[in-house]
Structure 1
Amino acid sequence: MATIEQINEGVEINGPIKESQKKILTPEATAFLALLHRTFNKTRKDLLQKRVVRQQELDRGVLPDFLPETKHIRENDTWTGPPLAPGLIDRRLEITGPTDRKMVVNALNSNVWTYMADFEDAQAPTWDNQVSGQVNLYDAIRKQIDFKQGEKDYKLRTDRVLPTLIARSRGWHLEEKHFTVDGEPISGSLFDFGLYFFHNAFELVKRGTGPYFYLPKMESHLEARLWNDVFNLSQDYIGMRRGTIRGTVLIETILAAFEMDEIIYELRDHSAGLNCGRWDYIFSVIKKFRQNPDFVLPDRSAVTMTTPFMDAYVKLLIKTCHRRRVHAMGGMAAQIPIKTDPEANEKAMDGVRKDKLREVLAGHDGTWVAHPALAPIAAEVFNKHMPTPNQLFKRREDVTSVTQKDLLNMNMPGGVTEDGIRKNLNIGLGYMEGWLRGVGCVPINFLMEDAATAEVSRSQLWQWCKHQKKLESGQTFDKQYALKLLHEQADELSSKAPKGNKYQVAAKYFEGQVTGEDYADFLTSLLYDEITTVGSSRPVAKL
C-alpha cells in the first residue's frame, strides 16, 4: 500500500497557506484529495463533454424528453430512498449563505432547522475564501468559532440545539486552480467535498448528525452516479458505513428535470431528496434553448413560480420525491428587510408569506431564506400548515402526469421593457462587480443576489439581443442598443460607488455577454481567472 508521502507526490499547492489553514491542508487530507482526483477526474471530464454534445443537439432543435432507456426505473414503484437521516427529519426552514466566519455564526444562531453553508453560488471562490471557509466550518462543528470583530463579540448560542449543517460544494464544471494533482487542477467539487468530509465526517456523526451535502448544477443521472461513486469510495476510505453521507440534489437545470427519478435512484442510500433551485432553473431554460425563438422569456419579474413551466416543475418534483420517500425542498426567499421604508418592507414581507404559503400547500417539506429576519415569517407559515416534521405522506395523487409539453410550456403573459433591461443590467453588473472583489452574495434593491440571479439577467439580455426582441415601446433590442444601455448603467453605478470599484471591469466582461454573440457557459467560469492568483507551485510532499 502506498504511503501518504507517495500519494502526495505530484500534488502541488499554488496559493498561500495561513497558519490557521494548516489544520485543513494536512498531508493526510491532501492525499485524500489526490485519491479523489485520480479516481474520478476522467469521468468528470467525460460527463462535461457529454454536456457539450447535448447542447449541440439542443441548438439543432432537439428537445429534451423523459429517457426511454430508464423507463423501468420511473415506472417501478418498489424502490425508495433511505430512512431519513439524523438531523434531517424536519428541515422546514433552511438558511443559506457563504462560509465567512461572521455568516457561519449568524446562520447557526438563526431560528432555522438547517444551515446550507455555501462554497458555490453565494461565495466568490478565491483561494482564501474556499480554504478559510473550511476552517470556519471545522471550528463551528466543534463549537470553537467564537470571535471578536471590532467591538462586537460573535458567539454561538448555547440555549438551543444548533441547526443541522449542510455543505454545498461547487458544481462539476468548476476547477480549483490553486491545487493541482499530476499537473491538473482538481475539480472544485472534489476539493470542497473532500476537505469537508475528511475532517468532519466522524465528528458530525459523534455530535448526532452526519456529513450532509447539497449537490448543484447537475444535468443528468450519470452525474449523480458519479457523486454516488465518490461517496462510496470516501466512506470506505475512512472506514465509515456506506449511506452515512446524504446528498440533496438541486434540480436547477431543465435537463435534470426530466431525470428526477433516475437521480434519486442513482444516489440510493445517500439521497436526501431534491430541491427546487428556481433561479438557476430559469437560467437553465434560457441557456439551453437560447438559440430557439420559441423559448424567449419576458421580463424576469413576469417569470414567476405560477407560470406553466415552473408550476409543472414543482408538481413533478414534489410528486417524485414523496413517491420515493425523500424530501422535496422549496426555493429561496431572497428579500432583505427594508428598514428605511416600513410600507415597502411590509409589502415585501407579504410577498414572502404568499410564496411560502404556496410552497407548503403544494407539499414541500421545507423552504429557504437568505436573511435571518425572514426566518420567523417562513417558520410561521410552515408551522401553521405543516404540523408534522415533513409532508412525505402528501403524495400529490392529484397530479396524474407531468409531460414533456408541460415542462416546456413557455406560455405566459408579459413582454420586454427597457425597465426590465436596466434591472437585468444592474443585477448582472452589481453581482459581477462584487464577485470581482471576492464577494459572492450581493444585496441589490433589497434582494440578495447570487450567481443564479445574475445568470438569469445575463442570459435574458443575450437571448433578447440574439432574437432582436421588440420591446413594449416598439424599439428593437439589438447590439447597439444593448451596449448603449450597458455603458450607461455601468457609468452610473461606478460614479455612485466607492473609489476603486470594479464596475468598468465588470462591464468589459459583460459586453461580450449581452449582444447575442459570445456566450460563456457560466459567469463564474468567465470571471474565475480575475480572482485567481496562482503563485509558484509548492509540492505538498515538501511543505
Structure 2
Amino acid sequence: MSETAPDAATVPGVRVLGGAVERGDEILTSAALEFVADLQRTFGARRDDLLARRGERRAEAAAKGRLDFLPETKHVREGDWQVAEPPADIADRRVEITGPTSRKMAINAANSGARIWLADLEDANTPHWDNVVSGQVNLYDLVRKQIELHTPEGKSYSLRDDIRHAVQLVRPRGWHLDEKHVLVDGKPMVGALLDFGLYFFHNAAELLQRGSGPYFYLPKMESHLEARLWNDVFTHAQQQLGIPHGTIRGTVLIETYPAAFEMEEILYELRDHSAGLNAGRWDYLFSVIKTFRDSDRYILPDRNSVGMTAPFMRAYTELLVRTCHKRGAFAIGGMAAFIPTKDPETNEKAMGKVHDDKSREAGDGFDGSWVAHPGLVPICFEEFDKVLGDKPNQIDRVREDVAITADDLLNVAATPGEKTIEGLRAAVDVGVRYIVSWLGGNGAAAIHNLMEDAATAEISRSQLWQWLHNDVVLAGGEQVTVELVREVIADTEKALRAESGFPTDDLSRAVELFEKVAVADEFVDFLTLPAYEQID
C-alpha cells in the first residue's frame, strides 16, 4: 500500500495508507485526522479489552450451556428511568430502507419515500479503501443536498424536490473490525471510530443547522459495557466539537445472542443518546449458532425454514418491543430482503410474505421496519399505516402482557424444520456467491431475488461448521463430514463457473475462504476478518 493524503504528514503519529480516492482530500483533512486519532488514543485500548472479554464470556456460556440475565444489573432492570425523547425528524420511523453508501444508493434511498435510510458502512459495504472514503464523500454531499450522479451511459440521478427525503442513520463498522489503511501510533485504527469520527466531524454542525442531527445505527454489540463505550465516545466527541450533549442518537441492533439478555442495560447506558433497538434477525441467528456452536442443544434446521414465528425468535422480538416501550424507546423490526422480479407468480408470492411479515411486526408493537428495495416501501407503509394511522409511532403501547424468561430466549430446540442435504447445498451456494461479491467490492449482493449482506454468508458457514462438529445426520441419512462439505463446495464451484454471466475472477479465493471458515478446527469469529486480509 502506498501512502496518500498529504495532510496526514502534518498530524503527528498518523499515517494514511492506500490509493488516492476522488475528493478524498476533502474528507481526510488534518483537522479530521486529528479528531479521529484522538478518538483512537482515548478509546482504542478499551475496545481491545472488550473484545477480549467477548471470548471469555463465550467460554463461560459454553461451559454452562446457557446465557442468563445479569444479576449484577438487576437494579437497572427494576429501576424507574426513560431514554431521552426522540428528535422530531426521526419521531416517525415506520419505514426504513437499508443499503451501502454508494452514490446511486444514497440518492435512490433519499428519494425512496422511506422515512429513514440506514446508510451502511458495515455489513452491506465491503471495506475497500475506495468504499470507505467515497462513502464519506457521498454522505457529505447528501447532508448538504448537493449530491448527484451522471453515468457514462448517460443516466442522471439527483434529489427530487417534491418529496420528503429519508433521514440518514449511519451504521459504522462493528467493534471487531480495524481499518488497516489508517495507522495511529503505528497501529490500525478501530474501524468503528474512523467511520463514526469522519462522519460526525464533517457533518454534525451542518446537520444541526438544517434541523436534523448526527444519528447512527450501532451494530454487533455483545454487552452493555460495549454500549457504555459508545456512549463515552459520543460524549467525548460532542465535547471536542462543542456540540450539545445528547445531540447524537444511536439505535442499537440487537443482533447477538448475549445482547438479547442485556437489552435494558444497553438502553440505560445510552439513555441520553438512545434512539431505540432494532431486531437484527439474520445476524442474531448467526450469533445463536456461534455462541453455542459446540452444543447439540442449539442446532438449527435449514436456514430457510427458521422463521420469525419460531419460539425462540418470537421470544426475542416480543422482549425487544416490551423493553423498548417500557423505557420510551423505538422498537424497529427486521429486514424484508425480497427484490421485486418480472415474474408475476414469483413476485406475488414474495410480496405476500412481505405483507405478512410487516403486518405481524406492526401488530406486535414495532414502531417501524426495514426493507431492502424501494419497491417494498409502499408495502411496509401499508401495513404500518393500518396500525399507526396518523400517530408517528406506538411507543405508548407498553406490551405489559409480555413476560419473557431466559429459558424462552434459549428455546432453540423447539424450532420446527429439518436439516437436509438441500439445505447444505443452499448454504454453500449462497455463501460462496456472497463472498465473491464481497471480495469484488459489493457488500450488498442480489442473490436468488434476495438482497443479502454479510449475515447471509455468516449463517451459512457457521451452520455448516456446527453440523460438521456435532456429527449431524441429515434428514436423508447423510452424515455431515468434511468430505461431504468439500464435495458440495467443489460441485458449487463447478456450477458457478458454468453459470452464464457469473463473475469468476474472485471465485477461487471465495471458495478457499468459505471452506476455511466452514470446516476449520477453530471457529473464526467473523469471516470478514480473514476476508479483509484479501482485499486491497
Same fold per superposition (TM over 0.5): yes
1:472 to 472, 475, 480: 475
1:39 pairs with 2:53: no
In the TM superposition, what is the alpha-carbon distance from 1:183 to its structure 2 partner? 0.3
Residues 408-455 of structure 1 deviation map (CA, whole Å, 9 limit, x = unaligned): 001122111111111111110011000111110111110011101211
Residue 529 of structure 2: aligned partner: 525
Question: Contact 1:95 / 1:370 at 8 angstroms: preserved in 2?
Answer: yes
DSSP-derived class of the 1:458 partner: helix
In the TM superposition, what is the alpha-carbon distance from 1:62 to its structure 2 partner? 4.3
Residue 131 of structure 1: aligned partner: 133
Question: Normalised by the size of structure 1, how large is the TM-score?
Answer: 0.95
Residue 370 of structure 1: aligned partner: 372
2:74 to 71, 75, 96: 71
The amino acid across from 1:470 in the alignment is V
In the TM superposition, what is the alpha-carbon distance from 1:516 to its structure 2 partner? 6.0
C-alpha distance in 1 between matches for 2:215 and 2:164: 17
2:511 to 501, 504, 507: 507
**Matches for 1:3-82 after TM superposition, within 5 Å:** 8-76=11-79, 78-82=80-84
- Structure 1 unaligned blocks of 5 or more: 534-543
Question: Contact 2:286 / 2:455 at 8 angstroms: preserved in 1?
Answer: yes
C-alpha distance in 2 between matches for 1:75 and 1:255: 19
1:433 to 429, 432, 436: 436
Question: Contact 2:65 / 2:295 at 8 angstroms: preserved in 1?
Answer: no
In the TM superposition, what is the alpha-carbon distance from 1:136 to its structure 2 partner? 0.3
DSSP-derived class of the 2:90 partner: coil
2:329 to 323, 326, 330: 326
DSSP-derived class of the 2:340 partner: coil
DSSP-derived class of the 2:69 partner: coil
Residue 356 of structure 1: aligned partner: 358
Residue 452 of structure 2: aligned partner: 449
In the TM superposition, what is the alpha-carbon distance from 1:151 to its structure 2 partner? 1.2
The amino acid across from 2:193 in the alignment is L
**Matches for 1:131-170 after TM superposition, within 5 Å:** 131-149=133-151, 150-170=153-173
Q: Which stretch of structure 1 is more off in the superposition, 112-121 or 510-519?
A: 510-519
C-alpha distance in 2 between matches for 1:414 and 1:61: 26
Question: Contact 1:61 / 1:292 at 8 angstroms: preserved in 2?
Answer: no
CA RMSD of aligned residues (A): 1.3
1:302 pairs with 2:290: no
**Matches for 1:75-90 after TM superposition, within 5 Å:** 75-76=78-79, 78-90=80-92
Question: Contact 1:7 / 1:34 at 8 angstroms: preserved in 2?
Answer: no
In the TM superposition, what is the alpha-carbon distance from 1:478 to its structure 2 partner? 1.0
C-alpha distance in 2 between matches for 1:499 and 1:252: 31
In the TM superposition, what is the alpha-carbon distance from 1:19 to its structure 2 partner? 4.4
The amino acid across from 1:509 in the alignment is L
DSSP-derived class of the 2:137 partner: helix
Question: Contact 2:117 / 2:169 at 8 angstroms: preserved in 1?
Answer: yes
- Structure 2 unaligned blocks of 5 or more: 1-6
Residue 119 of structure 2: aligned partner: 117
Q: Percent identity?
A: 52
Residue 537 of structure 1: aligned partner: none
C-alpha distance in 1 between matches for 2:340 and 2:72: 48
Post-superposition, which runs of at least 4 consecutive aligned residues in structure 1 deviate over 4 A? 4-7, 497-500
Residue 205 of structure 2: aligned partner: 202
DSSP-derived class of the 1:250 partner: strand
DSSP-derived class of the 2:369 partner: strand
Residue 288 of structure 2: aligned partner: 285
1:93 to 92, 95, 103: 95
Residues 248-304 of structure 1 deviation map (CA, whole Å, 9 limit, x = unaligned): 000000100000000000011100000000000010000010001110100111211
C-alpha distance in 1 between matches for 2:457 and 2:88: 35
Relative to structure 1, is the Cα distance of residues 73 and 6 closer, same or farther in structure 2, using a 3 angstrom cutoff? farther
Relative to structure 1, is the Cα distance of residues 18 and 511 closer, same or farther in structure 2, using a 3 angstrom cutoff? closer
Question: Contact 1:247 / 1:272 at 8 angstroms: preserved in 2?
Answer: yes
Q: Say which structure, 1 or 2, has more relative contact order (CA 8 Å, 6+ apart).
A: 1
1:404 to 406, 423, 435: 406
Relative to structure 1, is the Cα distance of residues 209 and 518 closer, same or farther in structure 2, using a 3 angstrom cutoff? same
The amino acid across from 2:397 in the alignment is K
C-alpha distance in 1 between matches for 2:61 and 2:81: 32
C-alpha distance in 2 between matches for 1:435 and 1:16: 19
